[in-house]
Amino acid sequence: MKVLLVGVGGVGEAIAAIAKPRAWMEQMVLADYNVKRAREVQKKLRQPKRFPVEFIDASKKSEIVKLAKKYKVDLIMNAVDPIFNEQIFDAAFDAGVNYMDMAMTLSSPHKKDPFNKTGVKLGDYQFKKAKDWQKKKLLALVGCGVEPGMADVFARYAQDHLFDEIEEIGIRDGANIAIEGYEFAPNFSIWTTIEECLNPPVIWEEGKGWFTTAPFSEPEVFDFPEIGPVEVVNVEHEEVLLVPRWVNTKRVTFKYGLGDQFIGVLKTLHMLGLDNKEKITVKGMQVAPRDVVAACLPDPAYLGDKMSGKTCAGTWVKGKKDGKDRQVYLYQVADNAECMKAFGCQSVVAQTAFNAVIGMDLLQSGDWTGVGVLGPEAFLPEPFMEKMADYGFPYGIKEM
């Protein structure tokens, strides 16, 4: 497989590092606006011909199409902030190649009632073009990271093997990660974190469909394997928009363990308008406040050696099996020290990246096939889950 990797930040580097030992990966183009960063990653990989570096402006569709055709790639892998998703998604279509991302096109809150009604939902832009992709016999595999991605595969597996009837599917994410030397340092893209945490969270219910609630609503304490109890709250996330399309359930939620400090910082950013992604004029210069915040914080790609602890991502499912009530949690725990040793990447980005690489593997082998715009739960879960341990990220199933 030949891949155009658009974005060589923390997750992009992890994708390349995890794909490197795999014989099916013929070539992966490391394309980024920051060529210096891309060359750093290329140097670590020590295979410059197999991992060539290119400059790219992800806001310009024509540049993406040009690179895809130059290298005759089979797939465009989107590993940048989702503000560029529309351009990259459309570029893959125009280039006539398959597409994959780990976060779908952005939402816009309802203008009059944002905490009850949905406006433009995550992925709406992509799903509206699904028939065009089908006609062209191309595949856009959307939401193929850890959450969304692995969590969606778990939901499909629970439906197929663990339950006769599902009442609720809840994605639950928690960690005990500590970062030495910083009072505040997110371990994932702050741009994306602000987007998903401050937008109205989406919930899906049978008979009601998709609706919204207030940020950080419905707190609960969830007991994570190898980590322990963590308070989690509602956050906007793609699984809620994907799972109900292919899995039969009565309710879908996503809750994330943020912590009081993180929530406090996000609320302050929102209060000051520093979460704004639209550009404003500052002393004659056009800047987006959110980009300024991101520039002031350490790059998560360089925090691995200062991080310690584990992160747990998974899918809690409640329902019935053989007439009896049942609850299970399907999960994956990534240890930072182990990820740094195996891949040279910190655990949060590595845990996100490995799923995209498995997705590529399954597309290349033909174990996953399809056309149109599809989420991971549209495919059989067994081939994916069978590969997780081989890739260094084994899953677990806990009876609740």
Start-end of H helices in 71-198: 85-95, 124-127, 130-135, 150-157, 190-198
Start-end of H helices in the chain: 10-19, 35-45, 61-70, 85-95, 124-127, 130-135, 150-157, 190-198, 239-246, 260-272, 289-296, 336-343, 347-365, 382-388
Contact criterion met (CB below 8 Å) for 100 and 85? no
Domains of the chain as residue ranges with CATH: 2-101 (3.40.50.720), 150-343 (3.30.360.10)
Contacts of 151 (CB under 8 A, 6+ apart): 171, 239, 313, 314, 315
273-287 confidence digits (pLDDT tens) = 988 888 999 889 899
- pLDDT over 90 at 294, yes or no: no
79-103 confidence digits (pLDDT tens) = 999 999 999 999 999 999 999 999 9
Peptide bond before residue 244 is cis, with ω within 30 degrees of 0: no
Can you tell me the distance from the alpha carbon of 53 to that of 36, in angstroms, rounded to the nearest whole number? 9
How many CB atoms neighbour CB 310 within 10 A?
A: 21
- pLDDT over 90 at 303, yes or no: no
Partner residues linked to 329 by β-bridges = 316, 398
Binned at pLDDT 50, 70 and 90, residue 347 comes out as very high
Contact criterion met (CB below 8 Å) for 255 and 231? no
- pLDDT over 80 at 189, yes or no: no
Say what the pLDDT of residue 297 is: 86
Say what the pLDDT of residue 26 is: 98
Partner residues linked to 76 by β-bridges = 4, 99
- pLDDT over 90 at 175, yes or no: yes
Say what the pLDDT of residue 263 is: 87
Instruction: Classify residue 33 by burial, with Cβ atoms within 10 Å: 0-12, 13-18, 19+.
Output: middle
Query: How much is the average pLDDT of 253-261?
Result: 91
Say what the pLDDT of residue 99 is: 98
Partner residues linked to 332 by β-bridges = 313
Contact criterion met (CB below 8 Å) for 364 and 1? yes
Say what the pLDDT of residue 266 is: 87
Contact criterion met (CB below 8 Å) for 374 and 104? no
Query: How much is the average pLDDT of 196-214?
Result: 95
